[in-house]
Every structure is written in C-alpha cells, then in structure tokens.
Chains A and B, each alone.
Chain A
Amino acid sequence: MATKIKPKLAVWKFASCDGCQLSLLDCEDELLDVVGEIDIANFPEASRAVVKGPYDLSLVEGSITTAHDAERIHKVRRASKVLVTIGACATAGGIQALRNFADVKAFTSIVYASPQYIETLTTSTPISNHVAVDFELRGCPINKLQLVEVISAFLTGRKPVTPPHAVCVECKLRGTPCVMVAHGTPCLGPVTHAGCNAICPSYNRGCYGCFGPKETPNTESLASQWQKLGSDDPGIVRAFRGFNAYAEPFRKESEIHER
C-alpha cells in the first residue's frame, strides 16, 4: 500500500490565551479523523515532536506585541504555503490591543515593579499588519466547527464558508427573540460578524462583539440606538473596546464617543 503524503499542519502562538488552539484539541469527535488526513507537524501545545517546514497550512494564534515576535511572524510566513489567523488576537490584536489607546509605559508600571526589565511594543497588532494572510477566522474564541470547516476547505482546495453577515441573522435562524427590541438590552449583534451561532442573546444578554465587525457595519446607527436605550458615551466606548477594539470600525466608533 502506498503511503499517502499528508499535508503538514503547523500551529503558531503569539500573544494570546491559548483558547483558539485549544479549540483544535476540543474537536473531540473530529480530532482523530483530522489527524488521519493531516500531519500535525508543529503543535507544541499538543506534542514535543517537531517536523521541519515548510508547512502546507499554518494556523496562527495571537497578536504581535514584541519586537521578537514581529520578526518571528516573517519566518512563519516564509515557512508556510497557506497562513490562516485564528481568533480575535491574531485577526484584530485582541483584548491586549487596549494598550493601543493608552500609554504603555504607564501600563507597564502598573503591573511590574521594575518596568525597565519589560520589553514590549507600544501596540498589539493583528498578523495582517505584518505579513500577507490567506484567511482570517474570527472569534474570541473561534468556533471549533468553523475551524474544522477551514481545515477541510483547505484540504479540498476551496474557500471556507464563514458568512460575514451579522449575528442578527443567526438569532433569526435559531428563533431567538431580539434582546434589544424585546427587552431593551443593548446588543452589538447588528454590527458583529456571525459565527458563534448567536450564543449571548440566547442566554438573555446582548452580544459583546467577540467575533469583531461584520461586513459593512453601521456602528453609528447602532450607537445612537444604544443611547436611546440609556447607554452613555463611556459605556459605548467600553462596548466597542472589547476583544476586537483595534478592528477599524469598532476603533473609529469608540473614538467618536471618547471626544
């Protein structure tokens, strides 16, 4: 029997919580099938074995926050045929991008007694600010079924199906009554990228935007709706400055309400 040469998968970590790469191990029902089709060549969270590059598919988790990582991502790019970012950190800079709106020196001295030992950039930036990215998978964390979709799409040479419409569409599909209309609960769903299957509204709370901006989001209109529901400017700033604070539409809207 001829041995099938399997495509090589690598998983890379930058500044992050490890949750998105854990999603791969959380595919309990699919994991053994996935490794049947793909050679996990570099995945330190799961294995001490490392197979040399180049890699057919690289999944990149985390944002760029140090000079060393800003170099390292170029090496990852060079070693990867296809590079996919997974999650809000890699795709938008993550929650740690809140430093981009503040003075990092002050941040460092709040956390560390001897700030002079800490080497860090003043910003947390998405991978696409540094290298070409072939596909961005959204979410904080990513949806593991979407991860399986991305890997399968790659294996069969097609584009992954991850609709860029609003979370609202998912609420309608699952029959969740609108929390803004029915309960007056502020919700980021109308401007947030689908993919989580609208979990928060189904738990009686507003979406907090962990999948980042949808295609063509009307953040201005949503912000004025939030004001009608009683949110003040600092509250609106905080809402847009969450796990995707540095994604442009959210960043711009937050800056308008900061003035």
Chain B
Amino acid sequence: MKGSRTIKVDYLARVEGEGALYVKVKDGKISDLKFRIFEPPRFFEAFLRGRDFREAPDITARICGICPIAYQMSSINAMEAICEVSVDKQIRDLRRLIYCGEWIESHALHVYMLHAPDFLGYEDAIQMAKDLPNEVKQALRLKKVGNDLMAIIGGREIHPVNMRVGGFYKAPEKADFAEIKEELEWAKEASLATIKLVASFTFPDFDREYEYVSLQHPDEYPLHDGRLVSSRGLDIAVNEYEQYFVEEHVKHSHALHSYIKERGAYFVGPLARYNLNFDKLTPACQKAAKAAGIAPEVHNPFKSIIVRAVETLYAVEEALRIIKKYEKPDRPYVDVTPRAGVGCGCSEAPRGICWHRYRIDERGIIQDAKIVPPTSQNQKTIEEDLRQFVPRHLRLSDEKLTWQCEQAVRNYDPCISCATHFLKLQIERE
C-alpha cells in the first residue's frame, strides 16, 4: 500500500486517565507510533517518605479511584511483611471478600461500559442502552453488587476506610451480608449471561506469544497474595521482584518501562491470571469458559473481555463461598509493632499485579517507597500489539482502524491514573 496515513486519537476515551495514540504509516509500514500518556505526575513515592507506615493504605488508595483495594492490599501486605505479622484465616477471608467486590465492580464497568461498546459499534454504554436496555441494566446491577460488597465491608466503594495494617478497623456482622447474599445469587446468573453475551462478539484474529505474569497460590485463584509466576518459568517470592523486573526511564521515550530482564515485555491482568491458574477456577467457571468457546489458554488479547466475564463469575462465587461460612472474628485486627526493615507486597488489581516496596524505620516512618502499577507493566505489550495490529489491518478506513486501535488498547483495561510514573510516552522508531 502506497502513501502515508496518520491515525490520531487526541484523547483516548473509555480508559481511566489521560492517554493519546499516534500512529504514522508510510508505504504500508509503521513509521511512527506513540501511545502517549499525559497524566501529570503526582509524586506518591516522594511524599510517602516521612509518613507513618499505617497511613500507606489510605494514601496509596488515592493513586486510583477504580482499584483502591489493590493499593491498600499491596501496601498492607508489604507493611505486614516488614513487621513480621500474619493474620488469621478470618481476616484473610474478609480481605478476599472485599477484593472480590472490587473485581466485580471494575470488571462489570470495563466489560459493559468501556469495552463492549467497541464490539457492538456504539460510542458508549449510554447509546448502547437505547438498543440493549436490559443488558445495560444488568451491567449496572452487577456493578452495584460489587460496589455494595465493598461498601458493606469498607464503608464506601471508592477509597474504602476499613482496611488497615493488621486487618480491619471493624469486622462486619454476619447479618450485614443478608441482602447482598441474595444479590450475589442473582449475580451468578448475570455473570453467566455476561459470559454468553461477550462470547458472541466477533474477535479479530490476533493470537500472539506473550510472557504472562501473575500471582499464584497453591489452592486458590490469585487475588490478594501469593508467589509471582510466569509462563516462561519464573517462580519467585514477591520480594524477589526487583531481581527479575526492571523499570527504566528511557531517554527517548520519556517513560518508565517495565520489562523482564533479558526477555522484555510481559503481560499482566485477567488473561495472564487465567492462563496461569485455570486449574484453580471453580468448576462452574471452567465449564462456562468451555461453553464460551475459549480454551484453558487464551492468547488473543481481544478475548480478554470473555476472560474478564469468567473472572467476574469467579469473584461472585468466591464472595458467596466466604459469606456462607463467615463468622465474625473476635478481634478485627492483630496488633502491629513497627520495626526497621524493607518489605514488599503484591496483589492482583483487576487489571494486573500491583507491586509495592517500602522501607520503614523503627518508629514506623516510611523512608522509601516504590510502587509499580499494572498499567505501566502492560504498556510495552500494548505498544507491541499495536505495532503488529496496524500493518495487518491497513485495508480498513481511517475511522475504523482508529477505532480498532483504541479497542486494542482497551483490551488491557488500562488505568492511566494508576501509572503514576509513565507520563508522556513516545515511541519513535524509524
């Protein structure tokens, strides 16, 4: 194909945060590609220095209004590692439960309101609601189930107030879950319907070979803790992360890139979790995945929407499992005495692993902090996807190709506000 074409999206919609996309194609080849992030820096890692270690969960929650639990949980894991504290099963279950709420809320938001409109050709879910009112109402109700679960345990859905180092400020009563239990039963059916719906979408052919990275736990689907594993054999403790993963401030890219040493880009999020932990999904999830026509491994990022729907069902089932056997703990938290040291924490944000490291002194004052959000880890993979996707689809009109590029970015449910330190990404390769 001769001639030069430019695809430009000045303000990428239906993502959390501010990003832009710029692709220049010359004679059928990409001459320039920019997935630009213009989210201004907010310096969390800097102003965490000097704060009390118990403040980290509430402060880091403000990195992202979409996945505050991920930040709270990862920082709590890190602080408890430093102070050598472990919590009992009841507190652990309650943490999983509130995290399920975040997954349900965030996945329902992304599947229906941010991503499905791409597949169905609508500008947004509100337009979609005119033709598919029942589906959109189902989406809103499903999202509300997640939000309500977070609010019951956490006090509110955005920046919940109940999580603390050592456990919770207050444990909910068994009776607090009476109503949500019924809604969760409904949500099970709604999630199954969601899987069916999204499986009926048309997907571009786009299988690629990726290195997937997720948490892994011996007997549960990864959510709030575990070891770090990859599809190419990595199996490490969370505190070994920096020996294998690097963040680099590249001169010409103006960005912090995450990559695996000597290997390069990697993939975090629903697809990674699913591919690495399929055997830990419930039988109902496995069955629903099979019925939806996806194998125990999926390598087409466009199909992440199906996996997200399967994970929604998992979160609903897991929430029900925990609620059914919930007994209020005698004490909602264990006492934590600060000690000088370094510790790491990691958990599975809806969009992938969220890794934290802190150093605190003997008074519990934070001396140093490092936070690696999921979206900055996927960023390199997103660019590589676009570099491969665009040349294969040059026959499309500019309008259509632009939309599909946006869709390809949204496969990753990117949360740009999260990615505190990858503003201004520019790729210039001639």
A contact residues vs B (CB 8 Å cutoff): 13-20, 22-23, 25-26, 28-29, 31-32, 35, 40, 44-49, 65-66, 68-69, 94-96, 98-99, 102, 104, 106-108, 110-114, 117-118, 120, 124, 140-141, 196, 199-200, 202-205, 208, 210, 235, 238, 243
Query: Per-residue 0/1 for B194-217: is the Cβ within 8 Å of any A Cβ (1 yes, 0 no)?
Result: 000000000000000000000000
Question: In the assembled complex, how far is the CB of residue A27 from the closest CB belonging to chain B, in whole angstroms?
Answer: 9
> Which B residues are in CB contact (< 8 Å) with A16?
65, 417
CA distance A196 to B156 in the complex (A): 9
> Which B residues are in CB contact (< 8 Å) with A14?
40
> Which B residues are in CB contact (< 8 Å) with A68?
38
A28 and B147 in contact, given A13-B18, A15-B40, A111-B45 (Cβ under 8 angstroms):
yes
> Which A residues are in CB contact (< 8 Å) with B41?
65, 108, 111-112, 118, 120
* Contact in complex: A238, B47 (CB < 8 Å): no
* Contact in complex: B140, A28 (CB < 8 Å): yes
> Which B residues are in CB contact (< 8 Å) with A48?
13-14, 123-124, 403, 406
Question: In the assembled complex, how far is the CB of residue B338 from the closest CB belonging to chain A, in whole angstroms?
Answer: 14
> Which B residues are in CB contact (< 8 Å) with A200?
155, 161
* Contact in complex: A45, B46 (CB < 8 Å): no
> Which A residues are in CB contact (< 8 Å) with B14?
44-48
Q: Confirm or deny: B383 has a beta carbon within 8 angstroms of a beta carbon on chain A.
A: no
Which residues between 59 and 81 of chain B lie within 8 Å of chain A, taking CB atoms? 59, 62-66, 68
A46 and B124 in contact, given A18-B64, A118-B41, A120-B40 (Cβ under 8 angstroms):
yes
> Which A residues are in CB contact (< 8 Å) with B114?
46
* Contact in complex: A69, B40 (CB < 8 Å): yes
B contact residues vs A (CB 8 Å cutoff): 11-18, 38-47, 49, 51-52, 55, 58-59, 62-66, 68, 109, 113-114, 123-127, 129, 136-137, 140-141, 143-144, 147, 155-159, 161-162, 164, 169-170, 248-249, 251, 254, 256, 403, 406, 415, 417, 420-421, 423-424
> Which A residues are in CB contact (< 8 Å) with B254?
117
Of A15, A104, A238, the residue contacting B51 (CB under 8 A) is: A238
CA distance A95 to B55 in the complex (A): 12
Question: In the assembled complex, how far is the CB of residue B75 from the closest CB belonging to chain A, in whole angstroms?
Answer: 14
* Contact in complex: A111, B46 (CB < 8 Å): yes
CA distance A48 to B406 in the complex (A): 10
CA distance A233 to B129 in the complex (A): 54
* Contact in complex: A45, B161 (CB < 8 Å): no
A17 and B51 in contact, given A28-B141, A203-B162 (Cβ under 8 angstroms):
no
* Contact in complex: B421, A210 (CB < 8 Å): no
Of B113, B159, B248, B403, the residue contacting A25 (CB under 8 A) is: B113
A205 and B15 in contact, given A17-B63, A49-B123 (Cβ under 8 angstroms):
no
Question: In the assembled complex, how far is the CB of residue B55 from the closest CB belonging to chain A, in whole angstroms?
Answer: 7
Most buried by A among B14, B126, B423: B126
* Contact in complex: A107, B46 (CB < 8 Å): yes
> Which A residues are in CB contact (< 8 Å) with B46?
99, 102, 106-108, 110-111
* Contact in complex: A32, B13 (CB < 8 Å): no
> Which B residues are in CB contact (< 8 Å) with A69?
40
* Contact in complex: A65, B42 (CB < 8 Å): yes
Of A19, A108, A124, A203, the residue contacting B68 (CB under 8 A) is: A19
CA distance A48 to B47 in the complex (A): 34
Name the residue of chain B whose CB is nearest to the CB of A31.
B140
> Which B residues are in CB contact (< 8 Å) with A15?
39-40, 42
* Contact in complex: B49, A110 (CB < 8 Å): yes
Name the residue of chain B whose CB is nearest to the CB of A185.
B169
> Which B residues are in CB contact (< 8 Å) with A104?
43
* Contact in complex: B161, A95 (CB < 8 Å): no
> Which A residues are in CB contact (< 8 Å) with B127?
47, 49
* Contact in complex: B249, A98 (CB < 8 Å): no
* Contact in complex: A19, B40 (CB < 8 Å): no
> Which B residues are in CB contact (< 8 Å) with A117?
249, 254, 424
Name the residue of chain B whose CB is nearest to the CB of A96.
B42
Question: In the assembled complex, how far is the CB of residue B226 from the closest CB belonging to chain A, in whole angstroms?
Answer: 26
CA distance A69 to B423 in the complex (A): 14
* Contact in complex: A22, B123 (CB < 8 Å): no
Question: In the assembled complex, how far is the CB of residue A161 from the closest CB belonging to chain B, in whole angstroms?
Answer: 20
Question: In the assembled complex, how far is the CB of residue B365 from the closest CB belonging to chain A, in whole angstroms?
Answer: 8
Most buried by B among A94, A107, A111: A111
- The 3 A-B residue pairs whose C-beta atoms are closest, nearest first, are A19-B65, A47-B124, A113-B249
Question: In the assembled complex, how far is the CB of residue A147 from the closest CB belonging to chain B, in whole angstroms?
Answer: 11
CA distance A117 to B159 in the complex (A): 31
> Which B residues are in CB contact (< 8 Å) with A114?
249, 251
* Contact in complex: A112, B13 (CB < 8 Å): no
* Contact in complex: A108, B43 (CB < 8 Å): yes
A18-B17, A96-B43 given; name 7 further pairs at CB < 8 Å: A15-B40, A18-B16, A19-B65, A40-B126, A68-B38, A118-B41, A203-B161
Can you report 18 residue pairs joining A to B where beta carbons are below 8 Å apart?
Answer: A18-B16, A28-B140, A28-B141, A29-B140, A45-B15, A46-B113, A47-B123, A47-B124, A66-B40, A95-B59, A102-B46, A107-B43, A107-B47, A108-B43, A112-B421, A141-B65, A203-B170, A205-B169
> Which B residues are in CB contact (< 8 Å) with A243?
62
* Contact in complex: B13, A45 (CB < 8 Å): yes
Most buried by A among B12, B15, B43, B147: B43
> Which B residues are in CB contact (< 8 Å) with A35?
126, 129
